[in-house]
Amino acid sequence: MTKYLFGCLLLLFGGSVFASAIPSELIFTVDQERYIKRYKEIAIREMERSGVPASIKLAQGILESDSGKSSLARSANNHFGIKCGSGWQGEEYYKKDDDYDDNGQLIKSCFRQYRNPDASYVAHSEFLRDPAKSFRYGFLFRLEPTDYKAWAKGLRQAGYATNPRYPELLISLIERYNLNQYDTPGAVDPVDVEVPTNEMITGILRANDVSYFVSEAPISVAEVAKQVDLSARRLLDYNEGLSKDDQQIPPGDRVYLQKKRNSYRGKEVYHTVEVGETLYDIAQRYGLKLDKLAKRNRLQETDNPATGVKVKLRGSKIKDAPRLEGTPDPDAIINEIPTDTDGRIIIDEPTDETNTGTTTTTPTGNRPVVVPRPTTPNPTTGNPSTNPPSTPYPSGTGYPPTTTTPSTGTGTTVNPPVVQPPVNVPPTNPTNPQPEYHTVSAGETLYAISRKYGLTVDRLKQINQLTNNNISIGQQLKIK
């Protein structure tokens, strides 16, 4: 019995010594590598949409969710430990964390619950980009997106985590798994994100400090009301495009859960209308009341501004209403080419005709203009002179055929047509193309735009003479 107990103790302590000899970073390597493989694509796409480096997002996900094994990640799909906060209206999950009551007793904290982990990744981006938190996290988005060390230290500085070793832990994970490789263009195929990805992934989001709901599938107003625990009547009041409880809402469309704002609270003042966009679309995009947006731009609620014009989002009324879709643009350059009744281009018109046998014209193109010289009948013989053929020269033959000077047999010659020399117009230079521009849309970053046109961020900044990564909606960026 003594030998048996001794053997058990030896095995116990020996096993502990053996385990302690294994480097701690190797213990969870398999779980961490599996986690990276699962979430690297959503991390990259969120980086292109929001500007949060993929390496930072993956490292935070590993650290905060224990590689997806924490109870919060498994039960609430919350991989970043984001708490409910006062504005959260989605599902909740409670667990003890670091909140205490007035008696100093540890109590359960409220955490946000998401429908799937990808929604958590999107919410993490929006948490950092929230205008209400710009005083804390705004400076991060002025850092280079590839500078993961500065981002790691900045998160700690902004108070995202209280652990003083937080930057060190993030940097260690990034360098151990070479996560910064996902911060460079070409890590995955680019995605064209006009409507932010989170609208097709998660349920409740915010725009202009107003909560809204988005469904991945068609859904009725009544079903939305049931999911968000609001009356259908309120949803109809908050959304001008909804009129009845059984109205079907297409996938991706926003349904606001609160009253929209009178004006936009972001930094953008104007929105450049995109192809097919209506005034209602713009109001929904920026969380604005449709009637207020219409009045600010001196429009009716049913008016649709023309593609390319600017719609004012905040501030006083504009002086002149923007041009409407389908109306002519007064500033457009129209090249009018003169044509005859048969639709053929008129090359020139006579400016001076006399009976001296000469007609002068003003050339208008590069081709020589042939002007026939009429003749009169010979008074001696009464025989008319030979006139040039009336049939026009075939199109595409260039210059008219060469003619010889005929003779009437009476000593009188017929004057040949007069050929005016061509007017030389210097050709355009095909090697000097016109510059091309990209209009910045909501949610776009320099990184995403550079990927779209096959440029580097540095090159895009260089040709636009930018000194930082800040861009605004409607800004014109030269891409070529």
Decide which of 51 and 387 is more confident: 51
Report CA dihedral (90, 95, 97, 100) to the nearest 10 degrees.
90
- Across 54-58, 80-84, 382-386, least confident range: 382-386
pTM above 0.95, yes or no: no
pLDDT of 403: 47
pLDDT band at 347 (very low <50, low <70, confident <90, very high): low
Residues 122, 201 contacting (CB under 8 angstroms)? yes
Structure tokens at 124: 């993490």
pLDDT at 182: 92
Does position 220 have pLDDT exceeding 60, yes or no? yes
Q: Is the pLDDT of residue 239 over 90?
A: yes
Band (333; pLDDT cuts 50, 70, 90): low
pLDDT at 2: 46
pLDDT score recorded for residue 313: 95
CA distance 275 to 320: 22
**Cα distance between residue 155 and residue 164, in whole Å:** 11
CA distance 296 to 331: 23
Express each pLDDT in 149-203 by its tens digit. Answer: 999 999 988 888 878 899 999 999 999 999 999 997 654 444 333 333 333 444 6
- pLDDT for the residue numbered 432: 58
**Burial label, 9 (beta-carbon count in 10 A; 0-12, 13-18, 19+):** exposed
pLDDT at 466 (0 to 100): 81
- pLDDT mean across residues, the chain: 75
pLDDT at 440 over 60: yes
Give the pLDDT score at 213.
85
Question: For 353-389, how does the pLDDT look when each residue is reduced to its tens digit (9 = 90+)?
Answer: 444 444 444 444 444 444 455 544 544 444 444 444 4
Residue 78 has pLDDT above 70, yes or no: yes
pLDDT number for residue 309: 92
Quick check: 410 pLDDT over 80? no
pLDDT at residue 90 greater than cutoff 60: yes
Q: Determine the average pLDDT of the residues in 14-23.
A: 38
Q: What pLDDT score does 396 carry? A: 45
Tell me what pLDDT residue 204 has: 73
pLDDT at site 221 = 92
pLDDT at 194: 34
Q: Are 309 and 323 a contacting pair, CB within 8 Å? A: yes
C-alpha 118/C-alpha 128 separation (Å) is 16
pLDDT band at 272 (very low <50, low <70, confident <90, very high): very high
Q: Is the pLDDT of residue 393 over 60?
A: no
Mean pLDDT of 311-323: 92
Please report where in the chains the tokens 């605004």 appear, as a residue.
472
Backbone angles phi, psi at 97, to 5 degrees: -140, -90
Task: Band the pLDDT of 237: cuts 50, 70, 90.
Answer: very high
Q: How far is CA 54 from the centre of its chain?
A: 19
DSSP labels for 420-475?
PPPPP-PPP-TTSPPP-EEEPPTT--HHHHHHHTT--HHHHHHHTT-SSS---TT-
Dihedral class, residue 117 (left if φ above 0, else alpha if ψ from -120 to 50, else beta): alpha
Q: What is the pLDDT of residues 134-153, one digit of tens each?
A: 788 888 988 888 899 999 99
Q: How confident is the model at residue 55 (pLDDT cuts 50, 70, 90)?
A: very high
Work out the average pLDDT over 219-227.
Answer: 88
For residue 207, name the pLDDT band (cuts at 50, 70, 90): confident
